[in-house]
Amino acid sequence: MYLGLDLGTTELKALLLDREHRIAALARAPLTVSRPAPLWSEQDPAQWWAALEAAMASLRATDAGALAAVRAIGLSGQMHGAVALDADGQVLRPAILWNDGRSAAECDELAARVPCLAAIAGNLAMPGFTAPKLLWMRAHEPELFARIACVLLPKDWLRFMLCGTRASDMSDASGTLWLDVGARDWSDGLVASCGLTRRQMPELVEGSAVAGHLAAGPAARWGVPAGIPIAGGAGDNAASAVGMGLVGAGQGFVSLGTSGVIFVSGERFAPDPARAVHAFCHALPGRWHQMSVMLSATSAVDWAARCFGLGNAPALLAAAATLDADGRHGAPLFLPYLSGERSPHNDPGAQGVLFGLTHAHGPAQIAYAVVEGVSFGLRDGLDTLARPVGDLVLVGGGARSAWWAQLLADVLDVPLALCEGSEAGGALGAARLAWLADGGSEAEVCRRPETRRRFEPSRPPQDALASRHGRFQALYAALRPSFRNRAA
């Protein structure tokens, strides 16, 4: 057995995978996000550890025998979050998360300080990345900043708690703006631009390499053998790609999670900062990938379900699916920028907008507008990337809705495939990376799971959607100056 731990934004997953590629068990534990000020998004790392203990207790209650057979552990997690530790390994403040938007001014400062930033790090300075968060700490919390002995990413803090090792993998480290992504090593210049040194960075390993060994304490509580290897692991998106076997050039996925992602694997470092494309290391040695990221995907659906009395996300999707073609064509437009936006706009000041409301509109039309708006945001991101080879695999919680999957295939104009294990992509990828760290071969481990269902673009709906997509893009272009004025 191999244990994959996936630290998400709203839940932690613990997955057991056997050597026949069967998911033997999956446990979940919920997480909450704190927003103590406008644009802020934080979590207390202690909450992550409590969630991990809860998930493992659940597995032990139902699958103790499988846990006793675990040979290695892999980690996946939400990217970019800043966990600052002091010299004693204590957390200095709540972790600043990937969807925190407070550091826009620090992004401008970093870009001015390091004009070659994008060429080295592969990415523009955006508030979601880790480096601007530390610049914000230096400006606003100087006493805490002075005490920083190490900065870890969220899943890497879990590793530190599991084995005492301060390490990170190449894919997750790519999202800090401190990594020379082409060279797969820390850039001393980028680290120094934030007032830090290499000594405050974790050790770098490949995602499929051993990065530590499980301590006796958690091993005894969970019924897992002590001393088993813990793999380097991966950021959530690279881990999802490994979970779906998407490690060859041109293979990719679309993720409907809290955020929305289009991911395409490649064989070389290919930055494209002009279009806000993310260029990261893949989780396997000698591979890279491109990615477009929108900040609010299923989180926008959850928000709308709550605010408009639709109950929950499945109920909202069911309401949207009741509309016929005329009802969809007459629905309002929705800009899904509830937390600002990354790809392709790099606009932390962008906001959500419902446009074109009339007395004739009811909950179903609003529900449809929100889901369509998220889908249009993903299409804008796809258009910044090299087109994928063949289909895109659909992953994430939003993959549970066949109706949304078909709408998304129409909007993207790309076939989508729903594969076995799609809903647990990050945790599945983490387990596979554990398997590789235990000596498994890439050909054996990184297979594409069996396709459960395919969604082909349907031409007439796609043509009608193109007109609405054009209006969606024009609406953002018209409102962008207003967003900037408000932010100022």
Q: In angstroms, how far is CA 8 from the centroid of its own chain?
A: 8
List the catalytic residue out of 6, 172, 236, 347: 236
Which one-letter amino acid corresponds to residue 148? Answer: I
Question: How is residue 104 written in tokens?
Answer: 């826009």
Of 46, 48, 5, 53, which Cα lies nearest the Cα of 26? 5
The residues pairing with 204 across neighbouring beta strands, listed in sequence order, are 168
For residue 2, which phi and psi values (nearest 5 degrees)? -130, 135
347 is catalytic: no
CA atoms within 13 A on the CB side of 299: 20
359 labeled binding residue? no
Cβ density class 379-417: b for 16+ within 10 Å, e for less: bbbbebbeebeebbbbbbbbbbbeebbbbbbbbbebebb
Which uninterrupted H or E stretch holds 176?
A: none
170 labeled binding residue? no
DSSP letter at 415 equals -
The structure tokens 């799971």 sit at 449
Question: How is residue 365 written in tokens?
Answer: 């039309």
Of 184, 226, 348, 336, which Cα lies nearest the Cα of 276? 348
Interacting residues of 312 by C-beta distance below 8 A, sequence separation 6+: 302, 305
Q: Is the distance from CB of 159 to CB of 230 less than 8 angstroms?
A: yes
Binding site listing for substrate: 79-80
Q: Which amino acids are annotated catalytic?
A: 236
